[in-house]
A = this chain, B = another copy of it.
Amino acid sequence: MRLTINDIAKEAKVSKSTVSRVLNNSGYVHKETREKVEKVIKEKIYYPSATARNLSKKESNIIGVIIPEANNTFFAEVLKGIGEVVDENDMTLIFSDTNNDSVKEARALDMINMQGVRGLIITPVNDHDDSDAERKLKKKLRDLKIPTVILDRGVKNSQWDGVFFENYQSAYCATEILIQEGHEKIGIITGDLNLKIGKDRFRGYLEAMKDHNREPLKRYIYEGNFSVEKAYQLTRQFIEKKDIPDAVLTCNNLTTLGFMKGLNEYQLVLGKDIAAVGIDSNEVLDILGYNFSCVARDSVEMGRVAIRMLLERYQHPNKQRLESVMPFSVYLKGSERKVRS
């Protein structure tokens, strides 16, 4: 079976406390003793049990991460950022994908609870919607009583740290870019308006239009849901109806893809037949040379910020609640213009 601290103690002819001391670099231990113990550990290839250690110390070195769509590149990158810092800190990452399903979310939280993790980073399935599901989530988080950072989507009256994105501002800015390019009919494929991030982005669009004395035209407002499929359908529709806006704001990476699918299908050329700016960057589009302009955040960094915030909270449980809002950057590549040739 697996070696224990006792095996090492016996072999090194010391007590297990001494072994524990060299393992943890704690307390005093004679140089020679330390070397002897270390030698035995190496020789016998001993790995201390994290389980036993966690039980004894009543603290774990595991960080829990719950996200709604592991296959969405945004979350994949966030995960990468988190993983990086977790690694640097010699901790371990437990991970669960809720698939945007509140029931799975609840189960994931129970699992996290039983594992007794040190902290949790979660992107809720819901977002400020005051739903039953959200209330239950909040209750579970409260019961959890561990450092928690909420990422990207939030809950109402949060008592937890959070890292979010300048949703409103980024949409406002993107819209302004289109306005300043001189486009007349500026449309938007919105995100899921049940989610606050969807609402905020929409609001950014509306306000920008208003501030520039543009009447947002209802027929250029397409209500999407952050999915490829819906954005594609909406794009098809306006192309079929031959009432094509001059420019479109697409509200996330998936929306952008659906939009592009529609354009390609009808052979409309981006930057020529229609202009667009998206929220979120899209690596594959860049690779393929689409020059799709966007306002985007650094998602890997967003993950890093979240985990650092979590570790900070662990150190200072009573510090005031923190909220970090990630700024957006503007990446203009040409698609915001329209060059009728």
Interface residues of A, Cβ cutoff 8 Å to B: 2, 45, 47-52, 54-55, 60, 62, 70-71, 73, 76-77, 79-80, 83, 87, 90, 92-97, 104, 107, 110-111, 113-116, 143, 145, 228, 232, 257-258, 260-261, 264-265, 284-285, 287-289
Contact = CB atoms under 8 A, between A and B. Distances in A.
A97 B70 contact: no
Taking each of A71, A76, A284, which has the highest tally of chain B beta carbons within 10 Å of its own beta carbon?
A: A284
A116 B55 CA distance: 14
A49 B45 contact: no
B114 A50 contact: yes
Taking each of A77, A80, A95, A260, which has the highest tally of chain B beta carbons within 10 Å of its own beta carbon?
A: A95
Contacts of A62: 94
Nearest to A54: B51
A2 B285 CA distance: 49
A111 to B, nearest CB: 6
B71 A116 contact: no
Contacts of A52: 55
Nearest to A254: B287
Contacts of A54: 51
A261 B52 CA distance: 52
Top-4 shortest CB links A-B: A264-B289, A47-B113, A50-B114, A284-B284
A282 to B, nearest CB: 9
Contacts of A110: 47
Contacts of A261: 287-289
A70 B60 contact: no
5 contacts: A51-B115, A71-B77, A83-B95, A87-B107, A232-B287
A294 to B, nearest CB: 15
Nearest to A47: B113
Contacts of A257: 284, 287-288
A285 B50 CA distance: 44
Contact of A92 (B45, B90, B111): B111
Nearest to A146: B2
Contacts of A48: 114
Contact of A80 (B60, B71, B113, B260): B71
A286 to B, nearest CB: 9
A264 B285 CA distance: 11
Given A228-B287, A287-B258, A80 B97 contact: yes
Contacts of A2: 116, 145
A85 to B, nearest CB: 12
